[in-house]
Structure formats: C-alpha cells, structure tokens
Amino acid sequence: MKVMVPKNLEEALDILVADPNVKIVAGGTDILPRINQGFESYQTLCYTNDFPEMNSITTMSDERVFVGASIKLATITNKSCLASYEALVDASAKVATPQIRNQGTIVGNLLQENRCKFFNNQVPWSDINRCFKWGGDRCFQYLKSKECVALFQSDLAPALIAHNAMLIICSKRGKRTVPLQNIYLRGGKKAIQHDEIVLGVLLPPLKGIERSTYVRITERPSFDFPLISCAIRMRQIEDKITDCSIVFGSAGSMPAIFVDAQDTFIGRRIHELQELSEIVKPKISRLIAPFKDTRNNASTRRNMANLAFDDALEKIVNRFLENR
Amino acid sequence: MQGLGSVICEDLAINDDGIFEANTILSYKPLTIEQLPEIVIDFVETNDPFGPYGAKCIAEPPAISVAAAVANAIYDASGLRFDQLPITPARIQQKMLRRNAGR
Amino acid sequence: MSSHMFELSVTINGKDYCDMIPSDLMLVDYLRSYKYLTGTKKACNSGECGACTVIINGRAVYSCIMLAVQAHGCRIETIEGLSDGEELHPIQQAYISAGAIQCGYCTPGFIMSTKAFLDNEREIDEASIKEALSGNICRCTGYQQIIDAVVLASENMEEEK
C-alpha cells in the first residue's frame, strides 16, 4: 500500500483527480483498524493533515463558526468559542476513548463507515456469501433487503445536524456548501464525490436563548459506539420555543430527524414539553430501524430510543430552567 | 472484575451456525476502568476437606460467584431469573416486557 | 516490488531521528521493528485495548492505528523514555509500589496514558483518573491498584516540584 503525503490542499486534490481509487486518510481511526483487521485494502491512501484551509477554528464576521475538517475531537471539547454549541461539545467529549479523541478528526467522525456485526467481524460467512457491504449481493440483517442496512453510528452527526451545520466541500471544480443531513444517502453511502475533500463544518450563529444537549446510550462508558443517541437543540424567544431540532443517531443507515416532535414543540413553552412528549413518543419507533447486534434487537432498540429521548429532553429543559 | 464482566457485559456470542460473532475486543466488551464498582474485600474462614491444611484457592472462585451474586441481586430487584450470561439491560427489558404481557 | 518510501523525521524520547521508511508503515511497527523500542505493545492491532499507547506532542494516541507518516515532525514519547538510566520515573515507581502490574502487558500503555494525564495537570480525583484511563484495558488487576498507583504518582510528582 502506498501512502501519499501531499504538502498542500492543491496537491491532495490533484492526487484524487489522477487516481480514482485513492482513499483519503485523516486521523486514521476509522479506516486503519479495518485495514489492520483485513476488512478492506487499498493500493493508495492520501494523507490529509495540517492544510491551513482545514485546521483552524474561526469565528467569522457574521458570527458563523468554521471548524476545520482536520480538527481533533479533543480540541473541540475544550474550545471556548464552541462552548455554546453544547450538543457538539457533549458529543465530542464522549466519543470512544481519550486516545481516539486525540487522533480522530471531526469530519472523519462525520464520514465514518457504517457498522454491522456481519461486516465488522472476521467471520467465514463473508467468504462464502458476501453481503452488500462486502461487495456481494445479499444482506444478513434482513434477508429480503435490497441494500445495505448497516448502522451509521457517528456521535457528532446527530449533534451537528441538530445545530443545522453545513459542510464546505471543495474540489478542482470549485467549492460547494451543503446541509450536513444531505450528505447521508441510503445504503450507507455519502454524497461526496471521489475528487472532493471536505474543508470543514460551518455552524450557524446562536440566537435568542439557545440550548442543546446530546445523550448516548452504550454498553460500556468508553470504546463503544452508541447503541442509540439523541441530540436536541431548541431556541427560546420571549418564553416560547421558536426553533427545535431533534435527531436520533445510530437509528438506521443515516441519522433520523424526529420531525413530529419538532413540529409539536414549536410555539410551546418549556414547562409544557415533557407532558407533550408523551404524545409524540409512540412515533419514535418508526424512526428506529430494526437491527440485530449480539446483545440487542429491534424492540430493545426502540425502548432505548425512548429512554434517550426522555433523558435528552429532561437535560435540555433543565438547561433552560437554570438560565433563569 | 472478570466475574462482573462475565455477567453484565462480556458476550462470547456464537450464532446458530457455530460462528463467533464477538471476535474483536470491541464486540466482546471486557470491562473498562470506568466500570469499576466499589469493592469491599473480606475473608470467610472455611475448612476445605480436599485442600492442603484445609486451604482453598483464592484466585479463580471469586470470578465464578460474582455472576451468581449479581443474578440473585437482579432477581431480588425484579423477580426475574436468568440462566444465560450476560444479563444486559436489553435482556432484562425483554424478559420484563414478556412477563408484563403475561407470557 | 519496491515500496513507496518516505523520509520520516521524528523526535523520540528527546532524540532526533531521520529514517527512510515504507510509507504504509504503522507507527507501532516503526517503533518496535525499526527503532527496537519494544516496550510499546501490539495487542489488538485495532485501537480497542490501549496496549500500544504512546504520547505524540503531549497527547496519548494508539500507535497501532496511526501511520508513521502521521507522526512526521512530531515529538514522540514511549515507555523507554521515562526512566533516567537506572532511576525509574515516579509513575513507574508508583505502579510497582501500588501492585498495579501483574502480567505487565497493558502496563506500558497505562503508564503512558497516566503520564499524558498527569502532565496536563488537570483535576486529579478518582473520576478524572478513570476518564483519563478509560482507553486502556487490563484483564489482570481489576483496575483498583492502577487507580491507587496514579494517585500515588501524582502525590510523588507534586513533592518533587
């Protein structure tokens, strides 16, 4: 395997154009374990790090905040200019372990490969009958599925979608800015062209009284990916909720936005939310894909999603109340 | 800690075809330092008829009895008996739902 | 078939090195096989156990899932850099005194995580120790003695200042 180490962004983009099979590596904490475990192999990797366009955190003149793609997760947790983006800080503080957070990057976390026990284990069935993710023609999670249903287990994605974050993506053809949730496609694919590099994340300015939170449910408090997670962000102006985002992570092959709850909460007051949530909670199960891992099944996942939602709602209500 | 891990977290999952499903450390889930509970160490004097001078080994047995102790604690709290390890929150929830549904 | 080579410049335990390495060499293999610094262990090889922990520019990372080229131009600290000749570092001494070493395989990783934690001088209490070491797994000790060792090390390092 060849690892190219371009000296700047232009050189990296040239490498991607020249070879359609090159894979980008940033922190390495997503792709290198899979290469070490033999799930994937590549002829060429392109290492992107320390390009000035991608390694800064800047508050712009219109108060939007740019977080460069190469910024490590540990840096995000401790940056004072990001402290008000509480869901982002909560999420980045709890990813995996301190060592992973020191090495993994924000965009690496957002673009990570989906995970499934039939793919991420070195088991013989992938030799005999390859599943979609292995390049084959079937799914072992649901035998009738026509596409891969591996779970997208990123922590930062639900938090940043709740924050209405955008991604800035560049290539030799120019730059484009897209809402983060539009990156995630069915089958675990991401809407990034091969010759593109994500420069960073753009966070909108906070308005009024804006609080957010992120809750994750895991088997162990470190190392593990979330079984289910829930990010909630709300904006309160003159005692009423004027804007609300609720996003579930590890819900399916992409984060799931809880539109029913969002619509129900807008225009209401903080102290009404927990009672109102009982009306919308039955709709959570539609958002949570049934998915088997070694310890959980569809019904436990739905129950966990309810718990994560309750927990996140309680946390954010408390955050609003402590403001007064 | 190995005993506690065997009952709350560690799952050497084998599927119906006899294939290991938990063959990475990440999926086997040994306990981490954050899961260390308060451990109080005490000694019970016994007289083992087979051991030299009545002694019993001290290393392996505690790992076994932890699982039984935790399973009994879960029974005391919930009235549910488990005969398979690990006893995860998900499994407790499933059993509870089945019991509440009258099955 | 010849490998694609990269000229790597690093500082390991205070000494500068410059080596031609295959560009796809992992950091743990560079340290163990090229520099013969075999204190850093390769156990799971997938960032799931922490035995390979080293410190890069003051931050603990898993060397088994890091390419050597990612450490180009960086300061690397490994377990071999802790002791001063025959004299052990206070952290190493504390691990011995507290009985925190049984088979010893996780120990270099734990000691490097401990050093990265104590060097940053944050709040040192049981909760923050547990969080700092949450990326290292030990099967032998059950962790209690390791926590005691970190507390002991921080006290001894305070005294030395």
Residues A216-228 have a mean pLDDT of 94
Structural domain contains residue C85: no
Query: Mean pLDDT over residues B70-97, rounded?
Result: 90
What pLDDT is stored for residue A152 in this prediction? 95
Residues of chain B with pLDDT > 90: what percent?
A: 28
On whether both C60 and C104 belong to a single domain, the answer is: no
- Check whether residue C100 and residue C152 sit in a common domain: yes
C108: pLDDT confidence band, cut at 50, 70 and 90?
Answer: very high
- CA C106, C107, C108: angle at the middle one, nearest 5? 100
Q: Which of C79, C100, C128 is the last residue of a domain?
A: C79
Q: Report which residue type is found at A277.
A: S
A-chain residue closest to B94, CA distance: A300
CB B64: neighbour CB atoms within 10 A? Answer: 11
Of the candidates B100, B56, B20, B32, which has an alpha carbon nearest to the alpha carbon of residue A124? B20
Q: Is the Cβ of A50 closer than 8 Å to some Cβ of chain C?
A: no
B93 vs A: CB within 8 A:
yes
- % of residues, chain A, pLDDT over 90: 77
Domain residues for the domain of B70 are 2-44+55-100
Strand A209-217 relative to strand A228-237, pairing: antiparallel
Same domain, C108 and C143: yes
pLDDT averaged over every residue in chain C: 93
Write the pLDDT tens digit of every residue in C113-153. Answer: 999 999 986 678 999 999 999 999 999 999 999 999 999 99
Q: Among A244-253, B55-64, C80-89, which is the least confidently predicted range?
A: B55-64
Interface test with B, best of A220, A222, A224, A302 (most B CBs within 10 A): A220
Cβ distance C135 to A96 less than 8 Å, yes or no, reads: yes
Nearest residue in chain B measured CA to CA from C138: B32
Identify the sign of the CA torsion A117, A108, C8, C66: negative
Q: C70, A28: Cβ pair inside 8 Å?
A: yes
Q: Is pLDDT of A157 > 90?
A: yes
Q: What is the pLDDT of residue C92?
A: 96
| CATH number of domain containing B15 | 3.30.365.10
| Residues of A whose CB is below 8 A from C60 | 98-99, 102
Cβ neighbours of residue A224 closer than 8 Å, sequence gap 6 or more: A96, A218, B26, B29
Q: In C17-38, which positions are buried (b, 16+ CB within 10 angstroms) versus exposed (e)? A: eeeebbbbbbbbbbbbebbebe
Considering chain A, what is the average pLDDT of its residues?
92
- Does residue A236 have a pLDDT over 80? yes
pLDDT, tens only, A2-53: 999 999 999 999 999 999 999 999 999 999 999 998 888 899 999 998 899 9
Of A3, A33, A103, the CB nearest to C46: A33
The enclosing domain of C74 has a CATH number of 3.10.20.30
Please tell me the distance from the alpha carbon of residue C32 to that of residue C39, in angstroms, as a whole number.
8
Hey, which residues 99-138 in chain A have their CB within 8 Å of chain C? 99-100, 102-103
pLDDT band at B59 (very low <50, low <70, confident <90, very high): confident
Is the pLDDT at A102 greater than 90, yes or no?
A: yes
Which residue is closest to B23 within chain C, CA to CA?
C44
**Residue-wise DSSP of A124-182:** THHHHS-BGGGTSSB-SSSTT-SS---B---SHHHHHHHTT-EEEEEETTEEEEEEGGG
Asked whether residue C50 is domain-assigned, the answer is yes
pLDDT, position C84: 86
Give the Å distances, CA to CA, from C40 to A185, C16, C106: 40, 19, 9
- CATH number of the domain residue C100 falls in: 1.10.150.120
- For the range C88-91, what are the long-range contacts, defined as Cβ-Cβ under 8 Å and sequence gap of 24 or more? C89/C115, C90/C153, C90/C156, C90/C157, C90/C160, C91/C115, C91/C118, C91/C149, C91/C150, C91/C153, C91/C157
Q: Which domains does chain A have, with CATH numbers?
A: 209-323 (3.30.390.50)
By residue range, what is the domain housing residue C122?
Answer: 90-160
Distance from CA of C132 to the nearest CA of A (A): 7
Q: How much is the pLDDT for A67? A: 96
- Does any CB of chain A come closer than 8 Å to the CB of residue B9? yes
Residue B52 has pLDDT above 90, yes or no: no
Beta strands (DSSP E) in A38-139 are 44-47, 57-59, 65-68
User: What number is the average pLDDT over the span A148-162?
Assistant: 95
Using the 3D structure, point to which of C50, C79, C108 is the last residue of a domain.
C79
Task: Tell me, yes or no, whether B86 lies in a domain.
Answer: yes
Preceding amide of A221 cis, omega within 30: no
Cβ–Cβ contact A303 with B under 8 A? yes
Q: For testing the chain B interface, which of A29, A37, A300 should be mutated: the one with the most B CBs within 10 Å?
A: A300
Domain count of the fold of chain C? 2
How do residues A136-147 score in pLDDT, each as one tens digit? 888 888 888 889
Domain boundary among C79, C109, C133: C79
The crossing angle, in degrees rounded to 10, of helices C90-97 and C144-160 is: 140
Work out the pLDDT band at A324, boundaries 50, 70, 90.
low
Q: Is the pLDDT of residue A125 over 80?
A: no
In angstroms, the Cα distances linking B29 to A218, B2, B6, B96 are: 11, 11, 10, 24
C28 domain-assigned: yes
pTM above 0.95, yes or no: no
Overall residue count recorded for chain B in this entry: 103
CA–CA separation, A205 and A241 (whole Å): 17
Computed on alpha carbons and rounded to an integer, the radius of gyration of chain B in Å comes to: 17
Token pair of A82, please?
Answer: 């990001």
Average pLDDT (C35-54) is 95
A49, A102, A223 ranked by CB distance to C61: nearest: A102
Residues C12 and C73 in one domain: yes
Phi then psi for residue A220, to 5 deg, are -115, 155
Locate A67 and state its tokens.
């977080």
C64 touches chain B (CB under 8 A): no
Residue of C nearest to A96 (CA): C135
Residues C94 and C62 in one domain: no
User: Is B64 inside a domain boundary?
Assistant: yes
Instruction: Work out the percent of chain A whose per-residue pLDDT is above 70.
Output: 97
Q: Is A96 on the interface with C (CB under 8 A)?
A: yes
Q: Does C27 have pLDDT greater than 60?
A: yes
Q: How many CB atoms lie within 10 A of CB B61?
A: 11
User: Does B50 map to a domain?
Assistant: no
The residue ranking higher by pLDDT, B17 or C132, is C132
> How far apart are alpha carbons A73 and A75 in whole angstroms?
5
In this predicted structure, what is the pLDDT of residue B50? 86
Q: What pLDDT, on the 0 to 100 scale, is given for residue A129?
A: 66
Has residue C46 been placed in a domain? yes
Asked if residue C84 belongs to a domain, the reply is: no
Chains in contact with A, where contact requires at least 3 CB pairs less than 8 Å apart: B, C
Q: How many domains does chain B have?
A: 1
- A275-303 pLDDT per residue, tens: 999 999 999 999 999 888 877 888 889 98
Reported confidence tier of residue A123, pLDDT bands at 50, 70, 90: low
- d(C-alpha B48, C-alpha C87), whole Å: 46
Write the CA distances from A314 to A233, A317, B78, C28, C91, integer angstroms.
12, 5, 26, 44, 42
Local structure of A86: helix, strand or coil? helix
- Position with higher pLDDT, A221 vs B63: A221
Which ipTM value was assigned to this complex? 0.94
Residue A106 has pLDDT above 90, yes or no: yes
Which position has the higher pLDDT, A236 or A122?
Answer: A236
- The amino acid at B29: K
Compute φ and ψ for C44, nearest 5 degrees. Answer: -90, -20
Of A125, A297, A299, the CB nearest to B19: A125
Residues C122 and C73 in one domain: no
Chain A positions in Cβ-Cβ contact with residue B31 (cut-off 8 Å): 220
